[in-house]
Amino acid sequence: MKNPLIQTLLSLRGNPRACVYTEPLWGLSMNLCVPYASVYMLAVGLGDVQVGFVATVYMLSQVVFAFLSGPITDKLGRRLTTAIFDFLAWCVPCLIWMRAEGFWFFLVAALFNGAMKVPTNSWDCLMVEDAEKSQITKIYSLVIVSGQLSALFAPIASVLVAHLTLVPAVRILYINAFIVMTIKIVTLYLCSRETRTGVIRRKETKNTSILALAGGYGGVLKIMRKSPGTVFSLIITALVGAVGMINITFWQVIVSKKLLVPDSLLPLFPMFRSIIAIVFLFTVVPRLTRASLKMPLLLGFAGYVIGQAVLISIPAGSVFTYGMICVSLLFDGFGAGILAMLAESLVALHVNAAERARVMALQHMIIMFVTSPFGWIGGVLSGVSRSLPFVLNILLLTAGICVTLGYYRKKDSVLHTAR
């Protein structure tokens, strides 16, 4: 029997195909820079607290743009919005990061980078609005896999750092990211079409300003509050987002500064984690997501907890250091991969179809507002001990397990009463 993800990949048409097929270019651009982002900031002269502060400013910028993303997406259309704001949110910051010489460069780049919440919303709408509902979970699995494919090219970054040292190599990676992201933006725009809902919303909002559209969030909030599934997906996505931000920002810091792993080896470990995530997404996850999403969520949170616990227990300079990092990433790869896919799928599955852009905009805004302090908190904790940000992650993941158990217990009780 053919693998369900491969079947979905080959059967995609229209906007879902354009979005999924161009997504690997994201991995060949920005994801090559991610393993070095924080240590690059440290190398340029920032301290741990400044790194955390930049992460928090980035999150707060996302709050503002998330608020505006729904009206902008409805007003300009899913396709045009994605093209314009992908360029502003990624290509412009790449040029700033490439020339960065101190704290203020990263602060300005973070403000621009926060605009990514606009194309996050519009791109999601572009991808799923004309897709079959039964395909949504598989489509998001393919998106996660596409992003993880950058792992195969991680040795390129490693070789650059080994030969050129950290700062010059990362500057080259940001130039590459600018070029590849520009190609991705243009290709997606040419290969996609405005969605049916997008055409309708553009006509409905033609004579209404963006600020006036934003003023209608009160009714959208009522729609969200009446849907337990939407509230649940909001909480899960916020928890996963906070954990992911801390992990992305401080994982390379603990591995480089506490465990004393050479900078040239940093991309190899995320490569291993990405490969693990891809394997799980193609083999285990399709079997887990055939019925209820309860068990996949619980397994994802539990796996992530184990991975983080192993990471903070690794002794520096030990003969077991590299092996234990791989064990940690084995569990992280499963937990992070499945939770990233499920968080996005839950939002798409429970969102109100007619108000998708504004509901998702409000969700993104709330999530960013809730998670934004965790960059600064993580920086303060890292300044005390490199392990403390990951202790916080374990607490957040444990909260995710509790929320999942509570939601499905209540849901099962309601179904049992209805019978």
pLDDT digits 0-9 by tens, 319-338:
788 889 989 988 988 888 78
The confidence score (pLDDT) of residue 293 equals 76
The confidence score (pLDDT) of residue 110 equals 95
Phi-psi domain of 262 (left: phi exceeds 0; alpha: psi -120 through 50; beta: other): beta
Which tens digits make up the pLDDT trace of 218-259? 676 777 777 777 788 888 888 988 898 888 788 888 888 888
Residue 325's Cβ-side half-sphere holds a number of Cα atoms within 13 Å equal to 24
* pLDDT band (50, 70, 90) for residue 417: low
The confidence score (pLDDT) of residue 236 equals 87
**Is this structure's pTM higher than 0.85?**
no
- Percentage of the chain modeled with pLDDT above 70: 91
Which tens digits make up the pLDDT trace of 56-101? 888 788 888 888 888 899 899 999 999 999 999 999 999 999 999 8
More confident residue, 388 or 158: 388
User: 1.20.58.220, 1.20.1250.20, 1.25.40.10, 1.10.510.10: which CATH number matches 15-418?
Assistant: 1.20.1250.20
Q: Kindly give, in sequence order, each residue whose CB lies less than 8 Å from that of residue 283, ignoring residues fewer than 6 positions away.
A: none
* pLDDT band (50, 70, 90) for residue 103: very high
Which tens digits make up the pLDDT trace of 308-322? 999 999 987 777 888
Mean pLDDT, range 199-212, rounded to an integer:
86
* pLDDT band (50, 70, 90) for residue 290: low
Which tens digits make up the pLDDT trace of 335-353? 887 887 777 777 666 666 6
Which tens digits make up the pLDDT trace of 353-402? 666 667 777 777 777 778 878 878 888 898 889 899 999 999 999 999 99
**Are the C-beta atoms of residues 400 and 239 closer than 8 Å to each other?**
yes
